[in-house]
Structure formats: C-alpha cells, structure tokens
Amino acid sequence: EAQVTQNPRYLITVTGKKLTVTCSQNMNHEYMSWYRQDPGLGLRQIYYSMNVEVTDKGDVPEGYKVSRKEKRNFPLILESPSPNQTSLYFCASRPFPQGEAFFGQGTRLTVV
C-alpha cells in the first residue's frame, strides 16, 4: 500500500531534550516536506527536499533540522525543543513538485 509513515504518532518531551521524528515513504517520490499545523494558522512548511542531499528552508525553519540521505526517508530533528514547538506535525511526499501530495498520519508533539 502506498503510504507515508511517521513515527511516533504522539510524543511528550521536556525542553532541551533532542528528538527526531521519522518519515518514510514507499512511493519512490523525489519531493518531501515537513509541515506544522497550529490552530488558526493552517499548515506551514518547515523544510522541504527536492531529492537526496537537497534540502531547503520553508516558512518556519527556526529550531528544526532535516536530512535526506536516502530517497525514502526524511527525518525532522529538533536539537533543543522549546514549548513553542508544541504542534501537530505532518510529513508529505510528492512524485514531482506539481504532483499530488500524500500526507503522513501526523505526529502530535508536546514540549513541556
């Protein structure tokens, strides 16, 4: 089944403790991105990647890092999480930039 898989689905952590949210897609898509969704603000892009080893900042990249060492994986790294990064995070992939976007099931992160 074609899908985008994120892990974990839910995470509660403390300020400053590094964490990684994984994202994997099995559709051989070149284009992957990370979004955060906050009430009243809609989805905002954090980072995107157009192919292996090619990443770029989105609208709200501060406090986040990504890597794209393999085509299928695009992890989101929070080196020192802060409470303002409490949010619902989505990973998405597309076969090409104009193509349909497939979203993961989301990761709800709470930083206390």
Partner 1 sequence: KNQVEQSPQSLIILEGKNCTLQCNYTVSPFSNLRWYKQDTGRGPVSLTIMTFSENTKSNGRYTATLDADTKQSSLHITASQLSDSASYICVVSAQAAGNKLTFGGGTRVLVKP
List residues near partner 1 by CB under 8 A: 4, 31, 33, 35, 40-45, 48, 50, 56, 58, 88, 90, 92, 97-98, 100-106, 108
CA 94 remoteness from chain centre: 13
84: phi then psi, degrees, rounded to nearest 5: -75, 0
Taking the complex as a whole, the smallest distance from the CB of residue 55 to partner 1 amounts, in Å, to: 11
79: phi then psi, degrees, rounded to nearest 5: -65, -40
Considering the complex, state which of residue 56 and residue 79 has its C-beta at the smaller distance from partner 1: 56
Considering the complex, state which of residue 77 and residue 101 has its C-beta at the smaller distance from partner 1: 101
18: phi then psi, degrees, rounded to nearest 5: -55, 140
Q: What Å distances lie between residue 89 and 48, 106, 111, CA to CA?
A: 13, 5, 13
Taking the complex as a whole, the smallest distance from the CB of residue 2 to partner 1 amounts, in Å, to: 12
Considering the complex, state which of residue 6 and residue 15 has its C-beta at the smaller distance from partner 1: 6
